[in-house]
Chains A and B, each alone.
Chain A
Amino acid sequence: MDIVVLIKFVPDLVEDLEIDASTGLLDRSFLRLMPNELDEHALEQAVILKERHGGRVTVLALDTGDVDEALFTAVAKGADRVIKITGDGFDQGLGSRRIATILRRALSDVRFDLILTGTQAVDDLDGFVGAFLAADLGLPYVGYVTQVAAADGRVVVRKEYPGGLNAEIEVSGPAVLGIQAAERAPRYVVTSKVMEAMKSAKIEEFAVDEVSVENEFAISSMALPESGTHAEMIEGTVPQIAQRLAALLKERGILA
Chain B
Amino acid sequence: MSSATSYEFLDKVISATPDGEKIRKCLQCGTCSGICPYGFAMDYPPRSLIAALRADDFHGVLESDTIWLCVSCFACASVCPAKIPLTRGLLATLKTEMLIGGSIPQELQVALGNSRRYGNALGESPKKRAEWARDFTVPVPILSAHKEPVEVLWFVGDYASYHPRAQQVSRALAKLLFVLDVHFGILGPEENSDGDTQAFTGEWGLFELLARKNTQAMGKYRFTEIVTGDPHAYNAFRHEYPRLGFDRPVKHHTQYLAEHSERIRALLQNRGSRRVTYHDPCYLGRANDNNIYEEPRQLLRAIPGLELVEMSHNRAQSICCGGGGGGMWLDGYSWEKAHTRTSEWRVKEAVAVGADVLAVACPYETPRFEDAVKSTGNEGKLAVKDVAELLVESMFG
Contact = CB atoms under 8 A, between A and B. Distances in A.
B205 A14 contact: no
A15 interface: yes
A185 B113 CA distance: 13
B118 interface: yes
A194 B109 CA distance: 15
A34 interface: yes
B117 A190 contact: no
Interface in B289-303: none
B99 interface: yes
Contacts of B205: 190-195
Interface string A5-17: 0000000001100
A191 B206 contact: yes
A154 interface: no
Given A14-B118, A194-B205, A188 B99 contact: yes
B91 interface: no
Interface string A182-221: 0001011011111100000000000000000000000000
Given A14-B118, A14-B124, A14-B125, A187 B102 contact: yes
B309 interface: no
B104 interface: yes
Q: How large is the interface on A (under 10, 10 to 19, 20 to 34, 35 or more residues)?
A: 10 to 19
Interface in A1-47: 14-15, 32, 34
Contacts of A14: 118, 123-125
Contacts of B208: 191
B112 interface: yes
A34 B113 CA distance: 12
Q: How large is the interface on B (under 10, 10 to 19, 20 to 34, 35 or more residues)?
A: 20 to 34
Interface in B37-96: 96
B333 interface: no
Contacts, number: 36
A195 to B, nearest CB: 6
Given A14-B125, A188-B104, A191-B205, A34 B117 contact: yes
Interface string B93-131: 000100110101010010011001110000111010000
A191 B206 CA distance: 5
Contacts of A188: 99, 102, 104, 109, 112-113
A192 B204 CA distance: 8
Contact of B96 (A15, A32, A34, A190): A190
B188 to A, nearest CB: 16
Contacts of A15: 125, 127
Contacts of B179: none
Contacts of A193: 100, 205
B203 interface: yes
Contacts of A34: 117
Contacts of B117: 34
Nearest to B208: A191
A195 B118 CA distance: 17
B209 interface: yes
A190 B206 contact: yes
Contacts of B203: 190-191
A190 B99 contact: yes
Interface string B121-152: 00111010000000000000000000000000
A168 B183 CA distance: 67
A192 B203 CA distance: 8
Contacts of A32: 125
Interface of B: 96, 99-100, 102, 104, 106, 109, 112-113, 116-118, 123-125, 127, 202-206, 208-209
Interface of A: 14-15, 32, 34, 185, 187-188, 190-195
Given A185-B106, A190-B99, A191-B205, 10 more contacts: A14-B118, A15-B125, A15-B127, A187-B102, A188-B109, A188-B112, A191-B116, A191-B209, A192-B204, A195-B205
18 contacts: A14-B125, A15-B125, A32-B125, A34-B117, A185-B106, A188-B104, A190-B96, A190-B100, A190-B202, A191-B116, A191-B205, A191-B206, A191-B208, A191-B209, A192-B204, A193-B205, A194-B205, A195-B205
